[in-house]
Amino acid sequence: MQYAQNEKATTLMLRIKLDRGWARFAAIYGKNGRVKPGLVIIDGKEVQFLKVAYEIRYYVGGKPKYLPAGRSSSDAEDLRKRFAAQLTARAIANAAGLKVEVEPSRKTIKQARIDYIKSRVDLGPDQLRRYEYVMDLFDKACPNVYVDEITKVHLLTFIKRLADLPVLQALRRKPSTRRHAAQRRKRYPVQLGTLSPRSVFDYFIVLLKFLKDIGVDPKIFPVPPKFEEPVITVYSPEQIKFAFSLLKGSLRIALSLMLKLGLRRQEVAFACFSDINVSKRTFLVRGKPEWGFRVKNWVQREVPIPDDFFDELILWKADHPGQVLIVPNSNGNPDTRLLKSLKRFVYLHGLRCGQCGHCRLGNPDCEEWELHRFRRTYATALVRHVDLRTAQKYLGHKRITSTERYLLAASAEDGQQAVSAIDFTKPFYGGPNAPKNGAGSSKETSMELTADLSQPEVGLGHPEEPMADSLQKGSEEIE
């Protein structure tokens, strides 16, 4: 009978770390019946603590149990009252032989993360690892926080932690010839760095998407951190001509698939000879369930193959009979180390720029050479020869705004001669020296601009889509 009575009793406790270790103390209530935050009695004296964790003590079979209640005194007291009511209702129902439906308990970020990862069956392995990494960083920045306790302060704390997150950068003098060099990487000197502003932005957007999906109110979301939008970089014709004069074998075919078909790194690694349509001279980008690979955005696409590269692919297929993948590794599996192969090729042939951060630090992995730049070079050339909707289809972009990024104006190098012809000592608008009816006439120019804006762009077929907001932009992977 005493056990039954005790199992209805609940007490709000404060868990505090003292010099001698962790200890629990009963909460103190004021005259208004509210809990005094962080205040406990130790040796007959009231002591105030800033960092405390609230728990609810209850009894099961005469033994005390503790239920976490967060760090807010008012929320913890509300939870204690609800929990006490549930215990009382359960005891009465058990005595009457009835069943009580209990409200699910509150979830911490760690518990919500586990449930969320299990529910996102649409994410690939790389995306899952990224989500888990970002959620783990948030859990470390704001430990023991319940989902309903998340505030704007927690998100700002996470941004600060991301900006200060240490990152080790390798300072190797030359590429390792060992097959398992990663196991001994600690032998090489490293320097301490931090995440780039773009990485901080991307990680923060991933967290916002996760919080929004688990039911956190978006009104508490702060403005995402700023970063400089870099200029889209492509390879120059000289770089492409010189590099491909030295390339041979599977690396040449892999980089050609990126440069002349615009394939992504994973799409190249899982490309098969069966994807080539010989009669139509096209390449089908599709998922490979047998390899656990799916295409981005879950949409297949068919890309035309240039004539010169088509002949090269046919010869490559004839030289490798019975091979399924176009560029497999030595074991016949998808080659996921294409970037390392490119970096090693650049180093061995003396193609390093000598100006990037890695080159200045002695790291052989030159930042000037990267796989995705071949796809960017393809996209930049493609939008100048076909309409935007066709380019969007070939590139596999979900939004046309992603394709519009490659529709750049004339570069600074291209416009250098045009700018040099301007006489800045003459009036620009009006005046005796201003052009009257020539190409530089302001009236004629404004009329031309009005005429251009009044007519839709040829080949689009749809009005221009609005730019995506920060959340949509950040959640979108690099395309």
Q: Note the pLDDT tens digit of each residue in 98-132.
A: 765 655 566 788 888 888 888 887 777 778 888 88
Same domain, yes or no: 342 and 246: yes
Is 75 contained in some domain?
Answer: yes
Same domain, yes or no: 182 and 70: no
Is 405 contained in some domain?
Answer: no
Is 395 contained in some domain?
Answer: no
Last residue within a domain, chosen from 328, 358, 388: 388
Mean pLDDT of the chain: 80
pLDDT of residue 99: 66
pLDDT of residue 177: 53
Is 424 contained in some domain?
Answer: no
Q: Number of structural domains, the chain?
A: 3
Same domain, yes or no: 91 and 116: no
Is 428 contained in some domain?
Answer: no
Same domain, yes or no: 375 and 297: yes
pLDDT digits (tens, 9 = 90+) for 386-439: 999 999 999 999 999 999 988 865 566 666 677 777 777 777 655 554 555 444
Same domain, yes or no: 211 and 290: no
Same domain, yes or no: 50 and 147: no
Same domain, yes or no: 142 and 118: yes
HEC profile of the chain? CHHHHHCCCCEEEEEEEECCEEEEEECCECCCCCECCCEEEECCEEEECCCCEEEEEEEECCEEEEEECCCCHHHHHHHHHHHHHHHHHHHHHHHHCCCCCCCCCCCEHHHHHHHHHHHCCCCCHHHHHHHHHHHHHHHHHCCCCEHHHCCHHHHHHHHHHHHCCEEEEECCCCCCCCCCHHHHHHHCCEEEEECCHHHHHHHHHHHHHHHHHCCCCHHHCCCCCCCCCCCCCCCCHHHHHHHHHHCCHHHHHHHHHHHHHCCCHHHHHCCEHHHEECCCCEEEECCEHHHCECCHHHCCEEEECCHHHHHHHHHHHHHCCCCCECCECCCCCECCCHHHHHHHHHHHCCCCCCCCHHHHHCCCCCCCCCCHHHHHHHHHHHCCCCCHHHHHHHHCCCCHHHHHCCCCCCCCCCCHHHHHCCCCCCCCCCCCCCCCCCCCCHHHHHHHHHHHHHCCCCCCCCCCCCCCCHHHHHHCCCC
pLDDT digits (tens, 9 = 90+) for 142-156: 877 788 888 888 899
- Read off the pLDDT of each residue in 258-273 and give the average, rounded to a whole number: 95
Last residue within a domain, chosen from 338, 364, 388: 388
Is 382 contained in some domain?
Answer: yes
Is 433 contained in some domain?
Answer: no
Q: What is the domain-level CATH number for residue 246?
A: 1.10.443.10
pLDDT digits (tens, 9 = 90+) for 18-56: 888 889 999 999 888 899 999 999 888 888 998 888 899
Same domain, yes or no: 138 and 248: no
Same domain, yes or no: 92 and 120: no
Same domain, yes or no: 60 and 170: no
Is 67 contained in some domain?
Answer: yes
Same domain, yes or no: 81 and 186: no
pLDDT digits (tens, 9 = 90+) for 73-98: 888 898 888 888 878 887 787 778 77
pLDDT of residue 424: 76
pLDDT of residue 294: 87
| Domain extent for 371 | 237-388
